[in-house]
Amino acid sequence: MVLTGFDVKPLTPERWGDLEDLFGPQGPCYGCWCNHFRMPQRLRKPLLGEGARQLFEDRVKNGPPPGVLAYAEDKPVGWLQVGPRADIPEWNNPRRASTPLPDAPAEDIGNWAASCFFVRRGFRGKGVTGALLDGAVAFARESGARLIEAAAMDNRDKRSAEGLYVGPESVFLRAGFIEVARQKPGPPLLRLVL
């Protein structure tokens, strides 16, 4: 699927090398390798770096795809982790802004989450995040999801990269997401019904 000049594809095992190229040898976010919401910190922290990379590579090899990659021509330029809430149990923690609501429980495999973005330096601010989200919505529909939720960063008053790994609220609102809850100060819980 080609969206706003970027080609967005599910992360399948044959594209693992593209994710490694995008993330670099250390991996993003201090070596997290997109495991932040997959396990409690006490289990995740000792794995940072190579252990986290191997864990996520195994996840990709075992499928289903845990998200989508954006390409500019053949170069991987962005990543969005998107899939069933059940795959990212820490995102469902009752102390988070992303806590599931009663009408969309975490155990419902049709209830998906868009939880982590990463955009290659030099491509930030060029529409990659929006293309990733559009591609994630298409991927979720094709996979039978009934809705996608996000706990986006409200960045209207300040422009800061801190916390934007969850995505800026404005990108979700442009894609048709609506606020369904604000369970604590800070990020709203946004939803798109598919």
The 3-class SS string of 137-168 reads: HHHHHHCCCCEEEEECECCCCCCCCCCHHHCE
Looking at residue 3, what is its pLDDT? 46
C-beta neighbour count of 57 within 10 angstroms: 15
Three-state DSSP state, 4: coil
* 56 HSE (CA, 13 A, CB side): 30
Instruction: Identify the bridge partners of residue 116 per DSSP, sorted by sequence position.
Output: 81
Mean pLDDT, consecutive 10-residue segments, the chain of 194 residues?
75 97 86 84 82 92 96 95 94 90 95 94 92 97 97 65 72 95 86 98
Residues 6+ apart with CB under 8 A from 92: 85, 98, 99, 100, 106
Sheet bearing 67-72, strands edge to edge: 2-3, 6-10, 67-72, 75-84, 111-119, 147-151, 189-193, 178-181
Looking at residue 2, what is its pLDDT? 41
Using CA of residue 16, residue 29, residue 78, residue 63, what is the dihedral sign?
A: positive
Place of tokens 């939880």: 115
Cα(175)–Cα(80) distance, rounded to whole angstroms? 15
| DSSP-derived pairing of the beta strands 75-84 and 147-151 | unpaired
Looking at residue 25, what is its pLDDT? 84
H-assigned helices in the chain: 16-23, 28-31, 41-44, 50-62, 128-142, 169-174
**Structure tokens, 176:** 């048709």
Whole-prediction pTM: 0.90
Residue-range domains of the chain with CATH: 2-193 (3.40.630.30)
Looking at residue 164, what is its pLDDT? 62
Looking at residue 1, what is its pLDDT? 46
